[in-house]
Amino acid sequence: MTATPAATGRFGPYGGRYVPETLIPALDELATAYAEATADPAFLAEADELASNYVGRPTPLYRARRFEAAAGVAPIYLKREDLNHTGAHKINNTVGQALLARRMGKPRIIAETGAGQHGVATATACALFDMECVVYMGTEDVRRQSLNVYRMELLGAEVRPVESGTRTLKDATNEALRDWVTNVAGTHYIIGSVVGPHPFPLIVRDFQAVIGREARRQIIEAEGRLPASVVACVGGGSNAMGMFHAFAGDEEVELIGVEAAGEGLGSGRSSASLSEGRPGVLHGSLSYLLQDADGQIASAHSVAAGLDYPGVGPEHSHLHDSGRARYVSVGDGAAERAFRALPALEGIIPALETAHALAWVEEAGRRGEIEAPVAICLSGRGDKDVVHVSSLGE
């Protein structure tokens, strides 16, 4: 495995374990259990079997010809993570971590969620393994993503609304960490993105890396070559890390992460941590953050609840500084337009998060600023967003 952080859990200078002392033994235990599990053929076989027969892998790599025509660049392939069980890439991680929790003998699972996709995927894995499940969700997101709240409850999870701070993903993460500090002995925290203290950014990336492994093989089969551009949206950055990882050693492949510019860079209403932030410590790791001069975390904004986070995974910070990946941004309006465009062109309703990546490819294609072949991670489906987008009007 490449770019595995050492025992200190660093990607370049980023990452680490900036947590209350109470959690250190649990993180050590998790790192050890993860290393043992991934060296155990029985664990890997069970994970593979579930990926095939429960999650529905491999997902297709679909050539989107009408979208190509609109963007003026071809070929463009969509890696269809929306076709996974529960409708997004999130389940790749939750099934893996739930298996790990079962192996560690932890009967209780907690999670944070923004858009609700990670919450649904966690509740699903917990139902599958008969585990207790508590999901923290900001009240602002409960409002925006009410369909997913009901799905989680149907799956047997308890959804705890979080009223503190900005009432979004950041605050749900704080509350999940507080729960974990309090109940650490019997609880595993299934963190939803490549964020948090070591070893979470590593574990989540590894469970998501199947996306890029499949996509790389599939595009070589289809085109006889590697893609020139690999594109994914970035909030915390788990679908992007999962998509990028297999291509990290392919120097000729440009990796492009699309952040949410919200109401515009410079407006003070974005979630573009890499484009507008600077390094700092939040939720256990050192990474780029939106913050003020005193180090107070700024409130993020995006129309997409899953990108509405003032930080980003530490490996993305490293890829940003090293120049291996390029990070760009797309605002709310362009994302909403892409959300409306793809259904009519391809019969696929993308998540608002994913729509940021689609919008950027379309704009860059028109400007001639992207090289083909292009592979986009279609990280999730947009059913959850239909009510919210329709309420925004035309």
Q: Which helix (H) or strand (E) holds 223?
A: helix 210-223
Does residue 291 belong to the site contacting other proteins (CB under 8 A)? yes
- Considering only 5, 16, 235, 306, the residue that binds other proteins (CB under 8 A) is 16
Q: Please report, to the nearest 10 degrees, the dihedral formed by the alpha carbons of residues 25, 28, 30, 34 taken in order.
A: -160
Give the separation between CA 192 and CA 352, rounded to whole angstroms: 17
Query: Rounded to whole angstroms, what are the CA distances from 68 to 147, 230, 255, 339, 365?
Result: 32, 15, 19, 16, 9
Does residue 105 belong to the site contacting other proteins (CB under 8 A)? no
Contacts of 15 (CB under 8 A, 6+ apart): 5, 9, 198, 201, 285, 286, 287, 314, 315
- Considering only 130, 221, 251, 294, the residue that binds other proteins (CB under 8 A) is 294
Query: Judged by CB under 8 A, which stretch of 68-76, 150-158, 179-187, 368-376 contacts other proteins?
Result: 179-187
Does residue 268 belong to the site contacting other proteins (CB under 8 A)? no
Does residue 32 belong to the site contacting other proteins (CB under 8 A)? no
- Give min distance, CB of 181 to other proteins, in A: 6
- Considering only 64, 73, 297, 348, the residue that binds other proteins (CB under 8 A) is 297
- Considering only 56, 107, 165, 333, the residue that binds other proteins (CB under 8 A) is 165
Q: Is 106 a catalytic residue?
A: no
- Give min distance, CB of 105 to other proteins, in A: 16
Q: Is 276 a catalytic residue?
A: no
Give the separation between CA 19 and CA 285, rounded to whole angstroms: 8
Query: Judged by CB under 8 A, which stretch of 80-88, 105-113, 182-190, 228-236 contacts other proteins?
Result: 182-190
Q: Is 379 a catalytic residue?
A: yes
Residue 218: half-sphere exposure toward Cβ, Cα within 13 Å:
22
Nearer Cβ to other proteins (4/164): 164
Give the total of residues touching other proteins (CB under 8 A).
37
Does residue 22 belong to the site contacting other proteins (CB under 8 A)? yes
Choice among 112, 214, 336, 362 that is catalytic = 112
Contacts of 369 (CB under 8 A, 6+ apart): none
Does residue 74 belong to the site contacting other proteins (CB under 8 A)? no
- Asked if 231 contacts 377 with a C-beta cutoff of 8 angstroms, the reply is yes
Give the separation between CA 98 and CA 242, rounded to whole angstroms: 18
Does residue 185 belong to the site contacting other proteins (CB under 8 A)? yes
Nearest-10 crossing angle of helices 90-104, 200-208: 120
Nearest residue to 203 (alpha-carbon basis) of 27, 81, 324, 41: 27
Residue type at 19? V
Does residue 6 belong to the site contacting other proteins (CB under 8 A)? no
Q: What is the largest CA-CA distance in the chain?
A: 55
Per DSSP (E only), the strands in 17-149 are 61-63, 76-80, 108-113, 132-138
Does residue 241 belong to the site contacting other proteins (CB under 8 A)? no
Does residue 186 belong to the site contacting other proteins (CB under 8 A)? no
Give me the DSSP letters along 230-258. EEEE-SS-HHHHHHHGGGTT-TTSEEEEE
Query: Judged by CB under 8 A, which stretch of 65-73, 181-189, 232-240, 312-320 contacts other proteins?
Result: 181-189
CB atoms within 10 A of CB 337: 15
Query: Judged by CB under 8 A, which stretch of 68-76, 166-174, 229-237, 320-328 contacts other proteins?
Result: 166-174
Nearer Cβ to other proteins (122/291): 291
- Give min distance, CB of 170 to other proteins, in A: 7
Does residue 20 belong to the site contacting other proteins (CB under 8 A)? yes
Nearer Cβ to other proteins (94/168): 168
- Asked if 331 contacts 307 with a C-beta cutoff of 8 angstroms, the reply is no
Supply the residues annotated as catalytic. Answer: 90, 112, 379
Footprint of other proteins (CB under 8 A): 16-26, 164-165, 170-171, 174, 177-178, 181-182, 184-185, 279-284, 286, 289, 291-297
